[in-house]
Amino acid sequence: MIRQRFYHWTCSKFADLIRGEKKPPALGFDEWDKWHESVKKKRPFRYWIAETLLKKIQDIVYFPYDIYHAVKTYIRNRYFDKLHYLHTGLKPGEYYDLDHRILHGLFNELVIYVETECAWTYGKPEQVKHLYKFKNGSCKQAGLDYLNWGIKDKHKGKLTNFAKSCKEIKRLYLWWTEKRPQRKNPYLDKWYDEDTKMLIDLINIRKDLWI
């Protein structure tokens, strides 16, 4: 298990200088492939130095810390965070049908994704961490600000797939955390249909739920 770094030498200004082209802050999967192909075609040797050689050097330099981080992460995930199963957020000690557990399990994980993974990515750098207050590792506002930042992402004047994904993630997150709890009668059939539709929408963007 190698550490997933937030800082990559291949994304540095030095790498941009070697590559001869600035690396975009965020793109969709397909757009990343096109960008890499374009830059590699223009300057193949400089691209290799910036994208391959720098990465290998960083892996060597960070190897001792990566081993330490891998052991630490395994222990934390295995015995404390327990990321190998879904967290439903439901009240312990009560019975819930499977369809209820599926709905709450997936949407509660979406909440965790926004308020922890997105929030830490956006809210912890030195220049902005003083703006947010994290509680138990989570911060709703930092997560939303990350999504709002992503929604504005453009490439050559057009919204990227990353921006579209952020918009959809924000819509589903706000529906679950703000709109849905306002229902006066949560057991009407029309609510079940809405839950199903939103659950399908969440499944359709699951490939975008990563940092």
Alpha helices, H only, the chain: 13-19, 29-42, 44-48, 54-76, 98-112, 119-123, 140-151, 161-174, 189-204
Does residue 4 register a pLDDT over 70?
no
Among 19, 50, 85, which residue terminates a domain? 85
Containing structural domain, residue 45? 1-85
Who contacts 26 (Cβ-Cβ below 8 Å, separation ≥6)?
Answer: 150, 153, 160, 162
The stretch 80-98 carries a mean pLDDT of 90
Q: Provide the mean pLDDT of the chain.
A: 90
> Do 107 and 205 fall into the same domain?
yes
> Do 114 and 192 fall into the same domain?
yes
> Do 57 and 100 fall into the same domain?
no
Percent of the chain with pLDDT over 90: 69
User: How many domains does the chain divide into?
Assistant: 2
**Coil, strand or helix at 155:** strand
pLDDT band at 24 (very low <50, low <70, confident <90, very high): confident
> Do 140 and 172 fall into the same domain?
yes
The tokens for 75 are 């222990």
> Do 101 and 79 fall into the same domain?
no
User: Lowest-pLDDT range, 2-6, 60-64, 65-69, 75-79?
Assistant: 2-6
> Do 58 and 116 fall into the same domain?
no
> Do 68 and 93 fall into the same domain?
no
The pTM assigned to this predicted structure is 0.73
How confident is the model over 29-73, as pLDDT tens digits? 678 889 999 999 999 999 999 999 999 999 999 999 999 988 988
In whole angstroms, how large is the CA radius of gyration of the chain?
Answer: 20
Higher pLDDT among residues 92 and 7, named by residue: 92
> Do 71 and 145 fall into the same domain?
no
> Do 73 and 130 fall into the same domain?
no
Among 28, 63, 85, which residue terminates a domain? 85
Q: What is the pLDDT of residue 1?
A: 41
CA 162 to CA 166: how far, in whole Å? 6
> Do 19 and 105 fall into the same domain?
no
| Cβ contact 88:109 at 8 Å | no
> Do 67 and 90 fall into the same domain?
no
Among 57, 85, 113, which residue terminates a domain? 85
